[in-house]
Each structure stands twice: as structure tokens, then as C-alpha cells.
Structure 1
Amino acid sequence: MRLSITVALAISLTVLLGVTAIDIPPQSVPTRIVSTKGPLFVDELGRSRIFRGTNVVYKGAPWHPDISPDALPRWSFNQDDIDILASHGVTAIRLGIMWPGVEPVRGQYNYTYLEVMKTIVQRCSNAGIYVLLDFHQDGLSEKFCGEGVPLWAAQPAQSPLNLLGFPVPIEARPYKLQENGVPTPEDCAKHYYDKLQFTYAAGTAYQRLYDNHDGLRDSFANYWKLVAQTFFPFKNILGYDLINEPWAGNVVSNPGLLVPGIADRMNLQGFYDVIATAIRSVDPNAMIFFESVTWDNFVVGFDHAPGGTQYASKSVLSFHHYQPPQLFNLNATFVERSLDMLRLQSGGMLTEFEMGWKKGENIEYIRDVSRLADKFFFSYTGWEYTDYIPITGTNNGLRDPETGLVRPDMAEVYSRTYATAIAGIPLSMSSEDKTGLFTLTFFSDGTSNPTEIRVNSPRHYPSGYSVAVQSTSAAFRVLQPNEGAKDGFIHVVREQAGRAGAKVTVTVSRA
């Protein structure tokens, strides 16, 4: 790779190449995320952080992908997969930490499963990838043609209507059940899972979880407490996503729960407070990700972040964008969620959107999402890395699940240039896909901590790149390889710590 460096300072400050090397956090030891500031995360060095990545969710037994070296691409998330993601600019994954994997029998925890998940998190840490641990559910349970809670925790109410069986009232006749109480795949294929959440069985089972029937909420809190204890030592844990796409509850008996915002207030807010308290009992600084029902298009119904206002800066409104249920485009969603974040004083992150390959037809949409995320400084994890268990909504993207080869068009959009760590407050960030021109402007925080820009030279700068740094005051420079700079990163550092507020513009262009 040929690298050309130009440092142009607005006040003609001299660039000193022989100063003491800056202490750069090793890529293998990520800095812990400690709070949020709007859409930005803040690490323990005080830097603004932005993440780009994908979802890794295994929706069936054994509830984790194959991590062995010889795993088939269809089922794998081994070192090869992690290396592929890291080399294409991925700095975060949303990893399904599945309750049936942790607690298949009530009160009996599967520590072998947790060891597998720890291996994945450690390998990600070594590659500089952060991990958002996600209780992933769609449709609550296999009993209702979805996935989520263990079979023992899916407890529909025993009432005359429910005695008719699942999926009443979607169908008049009940499905035939297998020995484990789960419908056959053939019956489940008759309806998409989201429609089946309107059944009395699924709705009352959700409601019983929220209401702590038979101690189910307590069991869920204990599951999350164990997860937090297990992963507390890892600095690359981005946070804990309490429940993916929560359903409103028993909408058959209480259809008012379908009104946007009502289920958030009536069912989810108190539920989240309890779960967040359990997690924070073992990790007081945990970043808690919380979701509304998926159809809150204009405003979410919460009046505080999980645990109360004192934890707002350590709480992240996790939201998705699909049309439907979203009525408007992503720009409108970003505006709406930004207003929610301002009201709640919380952070926010786009944790799902349509990021599948779809035979190359989705590439421009992914580019559009990335451009908007740059504009608003939102982090994201798209759906999904690959379709391990093809139920309840699936995608595959960067890597072909049959051949294991990286798809070149997906590689282009995955590896767009962006700043993942900024020593200050960003003002603007953009990356022009056709020309490769990247521009970042920020106010310096006055420290000598490195600003880190992810760059993929083979994909976007095959003949090398030039970096220009301009500042209204203070001297900045780009680190050289002999000073700790790493392939795939551009490190911009301030020569000497001093007063905050210098306006800095960094541009990366093709040589």
C-alpha cells in the first residue's frame, strides 16, 4: 500500500515528526464504553464512539453458531468469520445470547453454552470488535412458531378461550403438537410469525412474562444477571439488549395495547426497570439497551430510561427500521428517535435494518442507510450476517453461506470509510462512495488521545490514499506505522494536550 500524508494547518503550525509516540490503546484491548451523548457512545478515554456492524443470531438449538475451525459457512461464526468482519470495517456485532441456551431447564444453567459465547466475545475483543448481547425473540417461543424464551417459560393462560388451542383466533382449529409441545414446521409455515402474536396463547404468554406470573419475570432477571456476571470482565461488551422487538402483551383481552405508546407504558417500562436493576446489581455501569414495540412511529411511550433518570446516560434506545411497520423513511425515523432520546436523555442506536444481499438488489439501500447514519452519527448493526436458522425473518449478506466467499458488492458497502473513535465532539462526517473522499470535522477535546478512522485500502484506495488535517489552533498529525499505527486504521493525534475547542477537519482521498 502506498500512503501519502499531507498535514495542512490553518495557522501554519509546523508538523513535528520526531515527538514522543502517543500511547495508543492496542486494537486487541478495546476501551470500555461508559456512557452516551445523544447518538454517540463515550469510551473510558472520553472519546466519541461510532460503530458499524451486523447481527449474529442463532435461532435454534444449540442456540449458538459453530465456532470450530472446520465449521461449514452456513453454520459458522469462527475465527475466519471474525477476521472477515474486522477486515471490512466492522466494529460491533449484536450477538444473540439465547435464554434457552443459558437456562434450558428452570434453575439449571448451561455453563458450557456460556463458555462458547465467551469464546466468541474474546475473539471479537482480539479483533477490536464490540459485542452487544441481545435476548433475541420473535413470537416469544417455539410453542408459537417463533423463538425466544425456553419452553418452560412459555406459559399461556389457562382459560376457556385458550383451551381451544394455538393458533386461535387466527385459525379455528388448533395445530397438532409434537411431543415437546411445539407445532410442526408445516403448520408454522401457514402464517408469518408476527401474525401469530395476535393469538390468545402467545399474547397471554407474553403478558404473564411481563406480569411475573409464576415468577417468570424474576427468572428472566436472573438469566440476565448471570449473563452480566459472566461478561463483566470483557471491555468490549457494548451493552445488553433486554428483549428484541417486544410484543404488546395480551391484545386479545386488551386491544388498547395496540395503540402506539400504550404497551410501552403499561407493560414494558416497569418490566425494564426490574431487569435493569438485576443487571446493575452486578455491573453498575452496564449499558442497557431497551426497545419499544415496533410500531411506535412518532413517539415511544416511555417516560424514563430503565432504572430512572440517574441511569439515562447509560441507557440506549434500541430501534429498528423496516417498512412496514415503519410508515416513513429512515431519515424520519432518525429524527423521531432523536426526539425520544432528547426527551429521555438517553442514547440511541439502530440495531436492525434490511442489510441482506438479496442478489445484489439491496446494495444501494445499504449505502443510503450508511450515509444517513454518518449524517446523524448513529451507530448501527444491520440484519444479518447470515441466516443460520431460516425462521422469523432471515437475511445473509457479506459472506455467501454456501461457498463461504465474500461477496464483492457487499464488501464495498461494509467497508466504507468512517470514524469509529473521535477525540472530541463530531460536527460532520461523510464518505463519498464513488470518489472515496472521506471528511470528518470535529471539535478537539484537548487531549492527545487518538482519533481512529477505519479504512479499507484494497477496496476503496487500491493505489493508496492521502490524509490532510486542518485545524484552527493546535497541531495535529497522522501517526506512522513505526509509532503504533495499524493497518486498516488512520490515527490522528494532537501533538500536545491543551485547551479544548480546536476545530479539526480530516480528509482522506485517493492518491
Structure 2
Amino acid sequence: VLAKEDPSRIVFYEPVTWSLVVGGTGSGGTGFDRLPGGPANANRSALSYHYYCWIVSPGDGIYPLWKRLACDALLLTRNLENAKEATAATGGGRFLTEFGLCAPTGQANATGTIECNEVLQRTDEEQQSWTYWDSNFTRADGSWNWDVVRSFARAYPMATAGQPVSYSFNLTSGRFDFAYQPDPKVRAPTVVFLPMSVHYPSGVSVNVTGGYTSRLEGNQLLVQPPSGTRRGARAAADTVVTVTVTRK
């Protein structure tokens, strides 16, 4: 009914929070062995899942190695891999709709800083959208909590004129790397979001390969094919455009 009445919307379906620790699509896992709307709605369906490491809290101090191994090497890895496995079986996308129990503090070795940054880096590797809970981006007096803002204001591809291959953002240096396979049938540019005032106050240096050009419009970097490229013109199957952004 949802797909029929509003075909442009994405339908999110969500298992119990611990299901991705178990894994699989059966009753011990997500419980979904098919998409709620069926295979025909795969491009409008997304597995909604959560990640929390229950042995950490925002008030924790230094992050001990055993906790980090338990949370990041074991639990986070298992959640991400099981989400990928579940959607490989059913089709559709996946979205980390909730994570938290961490808050960046500005201290590099603090539990909240390491845990949040690890989740953000790993979701970049998995090309996953995410939603964060638990922290405040502003303080009681209304001023920005910059330790939190800097961690979550990240460069990322908003729209890709083709197929994303990989992307990564270095929180310390501000370097952003993005690679994608262009689709010549797409007229619209590839759009990369750049948090200019937070990470690039003095501007950016941009390098794009393949003869592609770029221009900056506010917080958006637009990447387009070489002038004169015909719509629908064949591109080599292994063509990959890379975009590198660094601070000035």
C-alpha cells in the first residue's frame, strides 16, 4: 500500500536492536527473509539498524584497550557485517538509524572521542548513512559545543553521478578522498558536501582526475565531466574519477 500510494518514499524496516549481533535473516537475526514491499521495491527499501556498545557511556574517561577491542573490533564489526549480509540476501539498502553512548570531548584518548570517531570512520568505509543520538551540539548557554560539532561535520558525497567506489574523511587533517565510476547517462553533477566554516575556514584545494572539473558553491563541491562530453557517451568499464580535497 505504501509503495502504491507514495512510490517516491523509502520504506524503513527495523528488527530488534540485538538482532545484528546474532546475524542472519531468520528468527534469531533480523527476522526479514524478504523485503516488506517485495523485490520490486528494493530501490525504495532500507534496513534500519542500531549500534550501541553497552559497556561504554558518555562519562567514561580513558578508553581501555579491552573495551575498545570488545566494542569496535568485535561488536561494531559484527553489526556492520551482519547488516550487509542481511541486505545481500533480501536486496534493498541499509541505514544506521541510531548510534550513541559516546560524545567527543576533545581529548584524543577519551572513550567518547574514540568510540564516536570509530563509528563515523567505519560507516564511511561501508558507505553508510547514519543518525546520531545522545549528545548536544550546543551548550546550556546556546554556544556551539565545538568538540562535538567538529567530529560530526564531515565531508561526504551528497549525490553521485554514477556508482561510488569509496570515500574517507580525515578528521585531523581535513583531507577528503572520494572515488566513483561515472555514469555518462546522468546529466547532473556529482555533489560533495564540504563543511567549510568548520574544517576549511581558509578554503580548499581540490584535485579531480579524468579531466573532470569542479567548482565550489557555498558548502557544495560540484564535479562535472569534461566539456563536450555527450550524454550517453560510453565510458570505459574501469573508468574511476577521484576527488581529493585538502585544506589551504
Q: The TM-score by the shorter chain falls in which range?
A: 0.7 to 0.9
Change (3 A) 1:305 1:466: same
| 2-structure distance, mates of 1:304, 1:337 | 14
Q: What does residue 294 of structure 1 align with? A: 17
TM-score by length of 2: 0.79
Say which SS state the counterpart of residue 286 (structure 1) adopts: coil
Over the matched positions of the two proteins, sequence identity in percent amounts to 29
User: Any conservation in 2 of the 1:357–1:398 contact (CA below 8 Å)?
Assistant: no
Give the drift of 1:448. Answer: 3.6
- Structure 2 distance, partners of 1:373, 1:488, is 22
Query: SS of the residue aligned with 1:462?
Result: coil
Measured after TM superposition, the shift of residue 463 of structure 1 is 2.5
| Residue 315 of structure 1, aligned match among 38, 45, 50 | 45
State whether structure 2 residue 247 is matched by structure 1 residue 507: no
Amino acid at match of 1:315: S
Mark the runs of 5 or more structure 1 residues left unpaired by the alignment: 1-276, 384-394, 480-484
SS at match of 1:412: helix
Match for residue 198 of structure 2? 459
Residues 355 and 382, structure 1, Cα contact 8 Å, conserved in 2: no
Alignment of 1:486 onto 2:217: yes
What CA distance in whole angstroms lies between the structure 1 residues aligned with 2:143 and 2:95? 29
Q: CA deviation at 1:466?
A: 0.5
CA contact (8 A) 1:321 1:333 kept: yes
Confirm whether residue 477 of structure 1 aligns to residue 213 of structure 2. yes
Letter in 2 for 1:377: Q
Letter in 2 for 1:461: Y
**Aligned position for 2:118:** 368
1:405 Cα deviation from its structure 2 partner? 1.4
Higher RCO (C-alpha under 8 Å, 6+ residues apart): 1
Larger strand fraction of residues: 2
1:45-444 matches, cutoff 5 A: 277=1, 279-296=2-19, 297=21, 298-299=23-24, 300-324=30-54, 328-354=74-100, 357=103, 361=110, 362-383=112-133, 395-400=134-139, 402-444=140-182
Taking the aligned partners of 2:137 and 2:113, their CA distance within structure 1 comes to: 11
The amino acid that maps onto 1:335 is: E
Distance in 2 (CA, whole Å) between partners of 1:364 and 1:419 is: 24
- Classify the secondary structure of the residue corresponding to 2:118: helix
Q: 1:281 to 1:441 in 2, by over 3 A?
A: closer
What is the distance in 2 between the residues matched to 1:412 and 1:456? 9
Cα deviation, 1:54-106, whole Å, max 9, x if unaligned, reads xxxxxxxxxxxxxxxxxxxxxxxxxxxxxxxxxxxxxxxxxxxxxxxxxxxxx
Label 1:457 to 1:307 Cα distance change in 2 as closer, same or farther (>3 A): closer
CA contact (8 A) 1:288 1:315 kept: yes
What amino acid does structure 2 have at the position aligned with 1:459?
V
Letter in 1 for 2:144: V
CA distance in 2, matches of 1:426, 1:322: 27
Larger Cα-atom Rg: 1
Q: Aligned to 2:168, what secondary structure does the other structure show?
A: strand
Work out whether residues 104 and 114 of structure 2, in 8 Å CA contact, stay in contact via their aligned partners in 1.
no
**TM-superposed deviation, 1:330:** 1.7
Task: Structure 2: state its 5+ residue gaps.
Answer: 25-29, 56-69
Q: Match of 1:109?
A: none
Q: CA deviation at 1:309?
A: 2.3
Shift >6 Å, 4+ stretches? none
Q: What TM-score do you get using the length of structure 1 for normalisation?
A: 0.40
Q: How far is the alpha carbon of 1:313 from its aligned partner? A: 2.5
Q: Is the 8 A contact 1:289 1:316 kept in 2?
A: yes
**Alpha carbon RMSD of aligned pairs, Å?**
2.2
Number of residue pairs aligned between Structure 1 and Structure 2:
214
Q: Residues 508 and 359 from structure 1, CA distance in 2 versus in 1: closer, same or farther, beyond 3 angstroms?
A: closer
